[in-house]
Homo-oligomer: A and B are copies of this chain.
Amino acid sequence: MSIKIYDLAGADPARRFSPYCWRTHMALKHKHLEFEAIPWRFTDKEVIAFSGQGLVPVIVDGETTVADSWAIAEYLEEAYPGKPSLFDGAAGKREARFLKHWAETILHPAVSRMIIKDIYDRIDPKDQAYFRESREKRFGKPLEEVVRDREAVRADFQKSLAPARNVLKEQPFLCGEAPSYGDYVVFGMFAWARNTSPFELVPADDAVALWRDRMLGLFDGYAATFPAA
């Protein structure tokens, strides 16, 4: 029986865009595990109430339910030790942890300020009122105003990518010669943007864009099969 993942989807059920669910997609592919990604919307709280909380990703693997992308990665690593490792040991897990915090504290706020209105335009109509209200409360202003200065946000965002850019001039993946969970964590941010917004985060010849393209090509181009905005 394949693993089920409850996966944030837009009005188009093929549009899968949660940066956290993308971590899980890539982790499952990395481990060569069969899975079924069930489209889920922000307001489908009751559908995942069995997990004890209201956010995706949630996976169900036989009798086991796990929520939270990091906990899911740890679970997969422990439950499937014979499959390719997501972390390559304790030191690799520490690197992934730093990249996780870097992605969440530096990349996420900036990307959010560039694409939040484009996300709104592509989510399921039943989610729009919830999304607008909760995000406008967080930003303290209308979504239209949040993205108004996104060219300036992009300039700062591109500067903030410098450590990744420099690493990627030395090696093909953030985690070395091959991708590892830290790559998936950061890639989640770019997949989120790609699948919800036509706004280009980085020039096509940036070392980070070239890495993103390599990530899109992994596992027979798995992530690239999802529709870009």
Please tell me which one of the listed residues B101, B166, B167 contacts residue A167 in the complex, with CB atoms under 8 A apart: B101
Q: How far is the CB of A26 from chain B (nearest CB, A)?
A: 18
Residues of chain B with a CB closer than 8 A to A94's CB? 91-92, 95, 171, 175-176
Interface residues of A in 122-165 (CB under 8 A from B): 160, 162-165
In the complex, the answer to whether B163 meets A102 with C-beta atoms within 8 Å is yes
Asked whether A163 lies within 8 Å of B106 as measured between CB atoms, the reply is yes
Number of interface residues of A (CB under 8 A): 28
Interface residue from B90, B97, B104, B171 paired with A170 (Cβ < 8 Å): B97
| Complex CA distance for A87 and B166, rounded to whole angstroms | 19
A89 at the interface (CB under 8 A from B): yes
The interface centre, meaning the residue of A163, A175, A176 with most chain B CB atoms within 10 A of its CB, is A163
Is A88 on the interface with B (CB-CB < 8 A)?
yes
> Could you say how many copies of this chain the assembly holds?
2
Q: Which of B101, B162, B166 contacts A163 (CB 8 A)?
A: B101
* A98 x B99 contact (CB < 8 A): yes
Select one of B91, B95, B162, B175 contacting A101, CB under 8 A: B162
**Chain B residues, Cβ within 8 Å of A91:** 87-89, 91-92, 94-95, 175-176
Is A2 part of the contact surface with B, judged by Cβ < 8 Å?
no
A89: chain B residues within 8 A (beta carbon): 89, 91
- Please give, as numbers and ranges, the residues of chain B lying within 8 Å of A88 by CB-CB distance: 90-91
Chain B residues contacting A225 (CB-CB under 8 Å) are none
Contacts of A164 in B (CB 8 A): 98, 101
Question: Complex formed: what's the CA distance from A224 to B164 in Å?
Answer: 32
In the complex, the answer to whether A90 meets B160 with C-beta atoms within 8 Å is no
What are the residues of chain B within 8 A of A56 when measuring CB–CB? none
Binding site for B on A (CB under 8 A): 87-92, 94-95, 97-99, 101-102, 104-106, 160, 162-167, 170-171, 174-176
Q: List 10 A-B contacts (CB under 8 A).
A: A88-B91, A89-B89, A90-B176, A91-B95, A94-B171, A95-B98, A98-B98, A98-B174, A106-B163, A160-B160
